[in-house]
Amino acid sequence: MSIDIQMPALSPTMEEGTLSKWLVKVGDTISSGDILAEIETDKATMEVESIDEGVVGKILIEEGAQNVKVGEVILQLLEDGETEADLGTPAASSAPEASSQSEDGSDNPGTTGIRHPENDDADTDKTSGMPQVKVANDPDIPTNIKMVETTVRDALRDAMAEEMRRDEKVFVMGEEVAQYQGAYKVTRELLQEFGDKRVVDTPITEHGFAGIGVGAAMGGLRPIVEFMTWNFAMQAIDHIINSAAKTLYMSGGQMRCPIVFRGPNGAASRVGAQHSHDYSSWYANVPGLKVVAPYDSADAKGLLKAAIRDPNPVVFLEHELMYGNTFDVPDMDDFLIPIGKAKVRREGADVTIVAHSRMVGFSLEAAERLAQDGIDAEVIDLRTIRPLDTETVLKSVRKTNRIVCAEEGWGQSGIGAEISAVVTSQAFDYLDAPPARVHQKDVPLPYAANLEALSLPNADDVYEAAKKVCYK
C-alpha cells in the first residue's frame, strides 16, 4: 500500500496554502530528508521534506495550485517493490481538529479563541480558581512560656540556625553571608557554626547564583538564597519565576523546588530610588510562589522556619528598617507560624486596616490615635501575601463595613488594589464606604530627606484614610 503525503501546516493556524513548486517527479527515488516541494502562505515559503523512503508514484496536486487544504494528499510514494498498481485511493483529508474548529474562533490574537467543547461538561469552577487549602492556626503558646526580647534580625538568624541544625540539606548562599557575617548581619555566626560548605559566599552575580540555587533545589537540597536587597533580585527574577515558580506545573508535578529567596525589601533610609522598591505585588502576582512579609520578630522566626520547610519556592520579604526592632519571641522548641494566615493584631468594630511588613506598625499607631477620636479600628497583619488570607479580611469587613489598605509600595496594581477588588466583589453589600488605599506616591523614591518623607506612607496617612472612610 502506497504512502500518502499530505499538505503540511507551517503553523498551528495555517489552514491552506499554495503548492508553488515540485522538486520531484514521478519515478524519482526519494530518501528520508529529501525536499519534495515548496509551499507558500502569505507569511512564508517552506520546503516539504520527506520522512519516508520510496519512489514517487503519483503527484496529485499540480504545481502552482492555490488554496490547497492542510491535510490533503499531495503525493503518493511507492514503497519497496510496489508498482503503480499498488497506488491506493488517497485518504480523505485528515485535517486535524485544531483547524476544523476555526469556525468557532481561531487562536489569532483578538478573536475569542478556539472553542473546546470537551471542557463543557467539566464541573471545574472557572471563577473561583485554586481549591482552597485549609491553613492551620498559629500554635498555642502556653501561658507559662518565657518570652524573650529579640530583634527581627536575630529572630531570622535563629530561624535559619535552627533549621540548619534540623536538616543537613539546608544551606544559605548569597553575597557577604559568610565571612562578612551578612551585609545586615542576619547571617551572623552561621559560618562559625556550620562552616563554609553550608554558608556560602557568592560573587556579586544574582542572576547566576539564583539559578545555581534553584538547580541545587532541583538536585535535592534546600537552599536559602539571600539577596543583599530585593532590588538586586531583579537581576535574578527570571530564575525566581520561570525556573522556580513554574517548574512544578510545567513538569506535571514531578520537579520539586524547595527554596527560600530572602532579603530586605522596600525602602531603607535615604538610599534613593534603586535601593528602595517594595516588590510585594510583583511576586504576589505569580502562581507557584508563596510570598511572605512578616512584621515582628515572632512572625519573622516562625514564618521563616515554615518557609524553609515548605516544599515550594518561597519569596520572603524582610524590611531593613525593622531589623533592629525588638519584639517578644516565645522561647519554644520548633515555633512555626503557618504560611497563608493573616493575624488580627488589634480587634476593633468601626474600620478594618489591612497592612503587611513595616506598615503594620504605622497602622497600629494610627489605630491608637483613632481610638482617641472614638474610632475603634481593627488592624489585620497579612503576614502572607500569597496565598492571600481573604477570609480573615472579609470576616473583618463584614463586621466593620469599612476598609483601609496600607502598603509601602506603589498603588497601581498593588496589594491594596487586589484587596479592594476582593472586598468589593465579595462583600459589596457590607461596605458603607469605598475602600481606601494608602501607598507610596507614584514617583521613584527621592533622596532628599523632605521629599522622601513626602513620598512614603506613614501613620498619618493611615489615620487620615481611616477617618475618611468613617466620614469623620
Partner 1 sequence: MATKKASAKKQLKTSKSELLQLYRDMLLIRRFEEKAGQLYGMGLIAGFCHLYIGQEAVVVGMRAAMKDGDQMITGYRDHGHMLACGMEARGVMAELTGREGGYSRGKGGSMHMFSTDKKFYGGHGIVGAQVPLGAGLGFANKYLENGAVSTAYFGDGAANQGQVYETFNMAELWDLPVVFVIENNQYAMGTSVARASAQTELYKRGISFGIEGHQIDGMDVLAVKEAGATALKHARDGNGPMILEMKTYRYRGHSMSDPAKYRTRDEVNEVRHDRDPLDAVKARLEKEGWADTDSLKAMDKEIKAIVADSAEFAQTSPEPDPSELWTDVLLPVEA
Residues 173-232 that bind partner 1 (CB under 8 A): 197, 202-203, 205, 207-221
Q: Are 256 and 222 in contact (CB under 8 A)?
A: no
Site for partner 1 in 85-124 (CB under 8 A): 94-99, 118-119, 122, 124
Residue indicated by cell numbers 476544523: 100
* CA distance linking residue 210 with residue 199, whole number of Å: 15
Which grid coordinates are listed for 188?
Answer: 551572623
Strand partners, 344: 380
Q: Which is nearer to partner 1, 63 or 238 (CB)?
A: 238
Among 60, 65, 87, 248, binds partner 1 (CB under 8 A): 248
Least CB distance from residue 429 to partner 1, whole Å? 29
* CA distance linking residue 352 with residue 426, whole number of Å: 15
Pick from 279, 281, 348, 352: nearest CA to 319: 279
Least CB distance from residue 461 to partner 1, whole Å? 34
Candidates 243-251, 363-371, 412-420, 454-462 — which segment interacts with partner 1 by CB under 8 A? 243-251
Considering 162, 163, 175, 206, which one is annotated as catalytic?
A: 206
Considering 162, 226, 239, 275, which one is annotated as catalytic?
A: 275
Q: Which is nearer to partner 1, 200 or 397 (CB)?
A: 200
* CA distance linking residue 443 with residue 454, whole number of Å: 11
Least CB distance from residue 96 to partner 1, whole Å? 4
* CA distance linking residue 222 with residue 207, whole number of Å: 18
* CA distance linking residue 281 with residue 278, whole number of Å: 8
Site for partner 1 in 290-329 (CB under 8 A): 290, 306, 309-312
The DSSP string of 387-400 is: TT-HHHHHHHHHHH
Number of residues that bind partner 1 (CB under 8 A): 78
Least CB distance from residue 23 to partner 1, whole Å? 10
Pick from 113, 116, 65, 73: nearest CA to 93: 73
Least CB distance from residue 92 to partner 1, whole Å? 14
Which grid coordinates are listed for 439?
Answer: 501607598
* CA distance linking residue 140 with residue 135, whole number of Å: 15
Q: Are 295 and 155 in contact (CB under 8 A)?
A: no
Site for partner 1 in 120-179 (CB under 8 A): 122, 124, 129-131, 133, 136, 169, 171
Instruction: Please report whether residue 334 would count as binding partner 1 according to CB under 8 A.
Output: no
Candidates 148-156, 239-247, 293-301, 353-361 — which segment interacts with partner 1 by CB under 8 A? 239-247
Site for partner 1 in 34-73 (CB under 8 A): 35, 44-49, 51, 70-71
Active site residue 97: no
Among 6, 151, 276, 280, binds partner 1 (CB under 8 A): 6
Site for partner 1 in 270-289 (CB under 8 A): 287-288
Q: Are 75 and 58 in contact (CB under 8 A)?
A: yes
Residue type, 423: V
Q: Which amino acids are annotated catalytic?
A: 206, 275
